[in-house]
Amino acid sequence: MLFAATLLGLALNGPADAKNNKQYGPGVTDAEIKIGQTMPYSGPLSTYGTIGKAESAYFHMINEQGGVNGRKIVLVSLDDGYSPPRTLEQTRRLVEQDQVLLLFNSFGTAPNAAIQPYLNERGVPQLFPLSGATRWGDPEHFPWTIGFQPSLQVEGYAVARYIRQQWPNAKIAVLYQNDDFGKDYMKGLADGLGEVARRAIVGETSYETTDPTVDSQIVTLQASGADVLVNVSAGKFTAMAIRKAYQIGWRPSQFIFSGASTREAMLGLPRPGQAAGLITAQWFKDPTDPTWRNDSAVGDWIAWMSKYYPEGDRTSVPNVAGYIGAMALVQVLRQCGDDLTRENVMRQAANLDLELPILLPGIKVSTSPTQFFAVHEIALKRFNGEVWESFGELSRMR
């Protein structure tokens, strides 16, 4: 608590003037800045491993251009298989052996939750976990952790508002991952439904990431009589749930978690048309969306992918997420100047006011010593059987 108050006071006083006084934390020299992360390059959510590859490619571009304030970024990205114990093991290696300055964009709610106490106890910045769990925005208790993407509660709230507007008498079934990821989304959904939540949600069931399928859960939810399915899953579980509902003849209106709206998941179905009509949330421009066909920021992203990550999928939403996260980290490091201590990294991460053209219009990156989520708004999009199409207005949890 004392450190949190100290950090808040330092942040309010603004960035330290280190132009003539270089100060370095672990992993920093005059030539490089070493950072670390864990990614699911294997395991049940391995499709998201492409994010780490995209970020590595972005830092390669930055290094070609001379680095950040003359220093090259060295990313040490390790596979954790989306296994929290392995995440902790790999993170300890990054901190204690590789001596990284900070942890950046490690993937997943449960893996990041496993390392949050360790990093905060040791005073190691945990920047921009790839998860929307609300626990990343708690500077009072976790002053070394700062979130990035909109919280899962904001996403659940936006979905609930839309359901209430379109189907005021909807009977809702919910499939959710049994951890903070699923539970945070569920809270936002309940808050958005308000007084009708108890009546509207007629069935809910969870799954574990170690489950082989979610077939039995979908059969159970169909039996509830629901006409709306909110599918709070990720990776292969999303496609399995969509496929099973289609196979048993259940045709509810369906909502899926924003991070699961990958083209790979949709096109991985026996018939992509099985996913037509799906709705999800978004906070940046989807390169497959015709809305952005002539958008300069999307054009720049495609050109960047072609040059620096040519083997990557240019229709992949996770690759856009990696691109955005890397851009934000570069800004943090630029603001640090020659004061590349862990304390100053957190000061600058909590002092962002950044417009990125690849974000949806009206959304920007904004943090403060008391606001530890960088993106606060979200909008909806719908899958037409081939691509996602934007619709509706920005939503923010009240």
Q: What is the set of domains in the chain, with CATH numbers?
A: 2-149+295-376 (3.40.50.2300), 152-282 (3.40.50.2300)
**pLDDT confidence of 386, banded at 50, 70, 90?**
confident
pLDDT score for 21: 83
**Is there a contact between 373 and 147 (Cβ–Cβ < 8 Å)?**
yes
Structure token pair of residue 118: 């360790």
Structure token pair of residue 82: 């989306």
pLDDT in tens, 185-216: 999 999 999 999 999 999 999 999 899 999 99
pLDDT in tens, 265-319: 555 566 666 778 999 999 999 998 999 999 999 999 999 999 999 999 998 889 9
| Cα separations in angstroms, 125 against 68, 113, 340, 341 | 18, 14, 12, 10
**Is there a contact between 136 and 147 (Cβ–Cβ < 8 Å)?**
yes
The region of weakest confidence among 74-83, 337-346, 370-379 is 370-379
Q: Is the pLDDT of residue 4 over 50?
A: no
Task: Give the H or E element holding residue 290.
Answer: none
**Is there a contact between 49 and 262 (Cβ–Cβ < 8 Å)?**
no
Rounded Cα gap, residues 188 and 139, in angstroms: 21
Rounded Cα gap, residues 372 and 148, in angstroms: 8
Instruction: Count the neighbouring beta carbons within 10 Å of the beta carbon of residue 353.
Output: 10
| Cα separations in angstroms, 307 against 184, 299, 312, 321 | 38, 13, 10, 18
Rounded Cα gap, residues 301 and 316, in angstroms: 11
Residues 333-337: what's their mean pLDDT? Answer: 98
